[in-house]
Amino acid sequence: MDVGLIRRRIQDIRTSAGGTAGRDAARAELDAELGAELAQQLTQLTTELGHLRSSVTAAATSSSRQADSLISWTKWYVVATFLLVAITVAQLVFRR
């Protein structure tokens, strides 16, 4: 519903009733505006949380791939170092 229309109707109630009814109408107007604002903010928060979830999932996947790659390269580095040490020792032993 249009916010301007809500305000006009509440103003009409306030003007015709007077007294405590005017305060009640003002309170109802404030509640309606705050309720609409709260609903909008909750919708925005839900949307942002959805984006955050997607971003966290992508970051976790990327981090996992990077860790797997680091482990793989470290294993190859250990194998290459072992082979280099073995060749060096073999050269020293069989140099005669």
Pick 63 or 3 by higher pLDDT. 63
CA separation for the pair 42, 80 (Å, rounded): 57
Q: Is the pTM of this model over 0.85?
A: no
Tokens 């015709």 — which residue? 16
CA separation for the pair 48, 43 (Å, rounded): 9
> Exposed, middle or buried, 11 (CB in 10 Å: 0-12/13-18/19+)?
middle
CA separation for the pair 4, 29 (Å, rounded): 11
Model confidence over 29-48: pLDDT tens digits?
Answer: 777 877 888 899 999 999 99
Give which of 36, 41, 42, 45 is closest to 4, Cα–Cα. Answer: 36
Q: What is the pLDDT of residue 37?
A: 83
Question: How many C-beta neighbours within 10 Å does residue 25 have?
Answer: 20
Report phi then psi at 95, rounded to 5.
Answer: -75, -20
